[in-house]
């Protein structure tokens, strides 16, 4: 079996000064969050203007693998993971096994991310995906998208017990996705997409907490919750059709209806509502929570001429950041 960096780095001619980079985008859910956990459809877009990056820096023989999460000021060896880095360590070990490497590579894997943590934008899945890409590039052992997806999903399961699988698929494939758990994912082109703005409440909430809240509600009132999930699923089907058939005018009412159901599920917090109202008052035809909720981000449709006014209104209402969703891949580097 091949060994990676176990003898000397000259065995890896592809490296530029011993550095190899892997990247991955974030993700935005248009419709269907939470309901998707229970098997109902959802629609998501990749988010290329926020990315995670991992740099493989080769090290001397005997060094082993060290993962350095530079933003978190944390590092870990594969034998001794710090609790925060467990998903990255699991991903590295799984990637080594999937690539058929005999030993762990001698390297430092430096991980950075522009994606804010615990804000519903897929930061966890993106850093893991970037790390796996850097490792497989350095080893010259390509892992196809299915293999990458398997590894990222396995790590996601450490972060919350029953991830639907939508985050990892959107991030790994970097394409708009119509997704239903247990069914073949449908990647599609969305030609006439409106401008979407994301506004950050500045409140970080782990996905697991929001998912647990919805699970409690479902336990207390299963029939009502399933009814809401079903409505959300229908909204996602209609969203998928509207995007495929380039009917952007249909998107607004769908997003607003989805938001109403997210309110009933209890995941739209005061901070979310403040930003949603600000977006609507500033001319947006529709705004909703995106991702797990209880803070995190809201997503709003923006008419081009209203973008500046919406940006100002959202910041005045407390948004810590406002950005446009760039869902089309700008460069092949994000999909390698
Ligand atoms: C998180 O991005 C979306 C949720 O639906 C959870 C999941 O799909 O695993 C809240």
Atom of ligand 1 nearest to the CA of 167: 2
Cα 171 to Cα 334: distance, rounded to the nearest angstrom: 10
The protein residue whose alpha carbon is closest to atom 9 in ligand 1 is 163
Distance from Cα 240 to the centre of ligand 1, integer Å: 18
Amino acid 40: pLDDT: 98
Amino acid 4: pLDDT: 36
- Is the beta carbon of 156 within 6 A of some atom in ligand 1? no
Q: Which residue among 27, 35, 120, 211 is best mutated to probe the pocket of ligand 1, counting the most ligand atoms within 8 A of its Cβ?
A: 211
Distance from Cα 313 to the centre of ligand 1, integer Å: 28
| pLDDT in 10s for each residue of the chain, 336 residues | 333 333 333 333 344 456 899 999 999 999 999 999 999 999 999 999 999 999 999 999 999 999 999 999 999 999 987 888 999 999 999 999 999 999 999 999 999 999 999 899 999 999 999 999 999 999 999 999 999 999 999 999 998 778 999 999 999 999 999 999 999 999 999 887 899 999 999 999 999 999 999 999 999 999 999 999 999 999 999 999 999 999 999 999 999 999 999 999 999 999 999 999 999 999 999 999 999 999 999 999 999 999 999 999 999 999 999 999 999 887 665 444
Cα 226 to Cα 232: distance, rounded to the nearest angstrom: 10
Amino acid 296: pLDDT: 96
The pair of structure tokens assigned to 93 is: 């070990």
Q: Which residue among 163, 235, 288 is best mutated to probe the pocket of ligand 1, counting the most ligand atoms within 8 A of its Cβ?
A: 163
The pair of structure tokens assigned to 284 is: 């947006």
Amino acid 192: pLDDT: 79
Evaluate whether 45 touches 30 at the Cβ level (below 8 Å): yes
Amino acid 10: pLDDT: 34
Cα 273 to Cα 287: distance, rounded to the nearest angstrom: 9
- Is the beta carbon of 85 within 6 A of some atom in ligand 1? no
- Is the beta carbon of 211 within 6 A of some atom in ligand 1? yes
């Amino acid at each position: 079996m091949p060994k990676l960096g176990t003898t000397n780095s000259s065995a890896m001619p592809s490296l530029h000064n011993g550095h190899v980079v892997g990247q991955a985008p974030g993700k935005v859910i248009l419709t269907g969050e939470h309901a998707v956990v229970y098997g109902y459809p959802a629609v998501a877009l990749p988010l290329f203007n926020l990315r995670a990056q991992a740099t493989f820096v080769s090290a001397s023989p005997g060094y082993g693998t060290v993962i350095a999460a530079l933003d978190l000021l944390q590092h870990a060896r594969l034998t001794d993971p710090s609790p925060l880095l467990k998903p990255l360590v699991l991903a590295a070990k799984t990637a080594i096994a999937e690539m058929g490497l005999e030993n762990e590579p001698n390297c430092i894997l430096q991980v950075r991310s522009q994606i804010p943590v615990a804000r519903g934008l897929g930061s966890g899945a993106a850093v893991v995906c970037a790390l796996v890409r850097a490792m497989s590039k350095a080893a010259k052992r390509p892992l196809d998208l299915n293999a990458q997806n398997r590894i990222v999903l396995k790590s996601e399961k450490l972060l919350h017990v029953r991830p639907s699988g939508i985050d990892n698929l959107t991030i790994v494939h970097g394409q708009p996705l119509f997704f239903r758990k247990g069914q073949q994912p449908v990647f599609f082109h969305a030609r006439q997409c409106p401008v979407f703005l994301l506004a950050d409440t500045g409140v970080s909430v782990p996905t697991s907490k929001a998912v647990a809240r919805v699970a409690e509600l479902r336990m207390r009132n299963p029939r009502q919750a399933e009814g809401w999930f079903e409505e959300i699923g229908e909204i996602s089907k209609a969203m998928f059709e509207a995007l495929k058939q380039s009917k952007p005018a249909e998107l607004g009412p769908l997003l607003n209806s989805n938001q109403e159901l997210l309110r009933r599920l209890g995941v739209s917090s005061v901070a979310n509502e403040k930003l949603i109202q600000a977006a609507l008052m500033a001319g947006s035809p529709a705004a909703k929570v995106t991702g797990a909720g209880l803070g995190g981000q809201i997503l709003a449709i923006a008419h081009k001429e209203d973008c500046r006014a919406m940006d100002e209104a959202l910041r005045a209402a407390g948004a810590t950041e406002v950005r446009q969703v760039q869902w089309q891949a700008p460069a092949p580097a994000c999909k390698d």
